[in-house]
Amino acid sequence: MSWIREGELSLIERLSANILKAGPMPKHVAFIMDGNRRYARKRQVERQEGHTQGFDKLAETLRWCLNLDIREVTVYAFSIENFKRSKEEVDGLMELAKQKFSRLLEEQENLEKHGVCIRVLGDLMLLPLDLQQVIAKAVVSTRKHNKCFLNVCFAYTSRHEITNAVKEMAWGVEEGLIKSSDVSEALLSKCLYSSSSPDPDLLIRTSGEVRLSDFLLWQTSYSCLVFQSVLWPEYSFWNLCEAILQYQLNYLPLQKAKDLHKEQQALQQLEADRRCVAELLMHHGSGNGKPTDAQSRQEHLLSYVAEREERVQGFLGALQHRRDRYFTDLAALTALA
């Protein structure tokens, strides 16, 4: 079963999609695809069959998203916690992933036609090397595409992701690229695996569970959360429409909360900058002992902000380069093998 499914919606689905599209639409939707095993039990089929059908449903859902003009989708494919499952099941899931990512490589033409960029978020080092390589190849080969984006969270938990971002910043400090005072909420957001995506507008979890299970905790702070009781392999177009309706009903208050948060963030940044400038002036100013007037203070502040932004940009550039290199090197390793 392939990643990209061709095909159109039925007349009634198209009509509903068009009505929905008259309102505000989410640009980025995240899914916790829960319920594959329960589905297998319910249908009395093998567990692995449940997972396979779950993947097929993902391909179908991606098509619906495309039809609904949703250009970015993030899915929780495998959590670090899932390594606790039985060896048989973990091996089965790794095999399925390898198969699907290899399949993706065979579909290059199709991916190019739709401009699909695949990103894999997570600690890939925890995976078997052959799977790492296939993933790296898929990521590198679709890197340039920019029409739609599929982020697959694999060997992922949000706490790991946040910790990793802190580590990256600490690395930047060690390398002398940034100062510890440059660390802020905004910078942390840009060091996450998901740095190139906007925060998801809508998060959907299936199978009736009502928790986030360590998925995108940071990014979904102001997203609309929709918990649906349907099992993932039984997910339908109408379930997706229902979730979007929920999003539309929540749109205005969430927008307000987001704006408020942005304002607070800007204020905190300003405060931090002022503090740093005051400290600097204390250091330098103690020599001549003159109190600085408001205007020169403002000038100092502006030049400090410019310096800080330059530092941060340099650091983020270096970080991106390091990440790109990691994938390129891994993919090159396959070419040699």
Partner 1 sequence: MALVYECAWRVLHALLHIQRTLVSWFRTRIWNVNWRFWKRALATLFFPVTLGLHNHIHRTLKMGKPTIKRGYRRFAWGLDPGSLEKLPQHVGFLIAEEEPSYKDIANLIVWCMAVGITCVSVYDNQGVFRRNHAKLSDKILKQQQELLGLDSSKYTVTFLNSSNEKPNHQVLSCQMEVRVLSADDGRLGIARAAEQLCRAVELREKSSMDIDVSTLDSMLRDSQKHIPDPDLVLGFGPVRSTLGFLPWHIHLTEFISLPSHIEISYEDFYGALQRYATCEQRQGK
Among 138, 152, 169, 177, binds partner 1 (CB under 8 A): 169
Q: Is 41 in the site for partner 1 (CB under 8 A)?
A: no
Residue closer to partner 1 by CB (options 21, 113) is 21
C-alpha dihedral, 116 to 122 to 125 to 127, nearest 10°: -80
Q: How far is the CB of 200 from partner 1 (least distance, A)?
A: 11
Give the span between the Cα atoms of 26 and 33, in whole angstroms: 18
Helix pair angle (294-336, 237-288), 10° resolution: 130
Residue closer to partner 1 by CB (options 1, 270) is 270
Q: Is 211 in the site for partner 1 (CB under 8 A)?
A: yes
Give the span between the Cα atoms of 311 and 232, in whole angstroms: 45
Residue 78: CA atoms inside 13 Å, Cβ hemisphere, count?
Answer: 23
Q: Is 195 in the site for partner 1 (CB under 8 A)?
A: no
Residue 168: CB atoms within 10 Å: 22
Q: Is 10 in the site for partner 1 (CB under 8 A)?
A: no
Contacts of 40 (CB under 8 A, 6+ apart): 46, 47, 48, 49, 50, 51
Stretch that binds partner 1, among 5-13, 250-258, 277-285, 322-330 (CB under 8 A): 250-258
Q: Is 185 in the site for partner 1 (CB under 8 A)?
A: yes
Q: Is 170 in the site for partner 1 (CB under 8 A)?
A: yes
Q: Is 229 in the site for partner 1 (CB under 8 A)?
A: no
Q: Is 75 in the site for partner 1 (CB under 8 A)?
A: no
Q: How far is the CB of 104 from partner 1 (least distance, A)?
A: 26
Q: Is 267 in the site for partner 1 (CB under 8 A)?
A: no
Give the span between the Cα atoms of 59 and 220, in whole angstroms: 23
Among 1, 129, 257, 302, binds partner 1 (CB under 8 A): 257
Among 147, 159, 321, 322, binds partner 1 (CB under 8 A): 159
Q: How far is the CB of 271 from partner 1 (least distance, A)?
A: 11
Q: Is 1 in the site for partner 1 (CB under 8 A)?
A: no
* The two three-digit tokens of residue 168, written as one number: 């990256």
Among 250, 292, 328, 334, binds partner 1 (CB under 8 A): 250
* The two three-digit tokens of residue 263, written as one number: 């304002």
> Do 18 and 69 form a contact (C-beta atoms < 8 A)?
no
Residue 208: CB atoms within 10 Å: 13
User: What is the DSSP code (8-state) at residue 177?
Assistant: S
Q: How far is the CB of 66 from partner 1 (least distance, A)?
A: 19
* The two three-digit tokens of residue 210, written as one number: 């009502």
Kindly report the three-state secondary structure assignment for every residue of 73-117: EEEEEEEHHHHHCCHHHHHHHHHHHHHHHHHHHHCHHHHHHHCEE
Stretch that binds partner 1, among 170-178, 280-288, 311-319, 326-334 (CB under 8 A): 170-178
Residue closer to partner 1 by CB (options 18, 313) is 18
Give the count of residues interacting with partner 1 (CB under 8 A).
Answer: 63
Q: How far is the CB of 120 from partner 1 (least distance, A)?
A: 19
As a whole number of Å, the end-to-end CA separation of the chain is 27
Q: Note the residues at the interface with partner 1 (CB under 8 A).
A: 18-23, 79-85, 157-160, 162-163, 165-167, 169-171, 173-174, 179-181, 183-185, 187-188, 209-214, 217-218, 220-227, 245-246, 248-250, 253-254, 257, 260-261, 264, 268
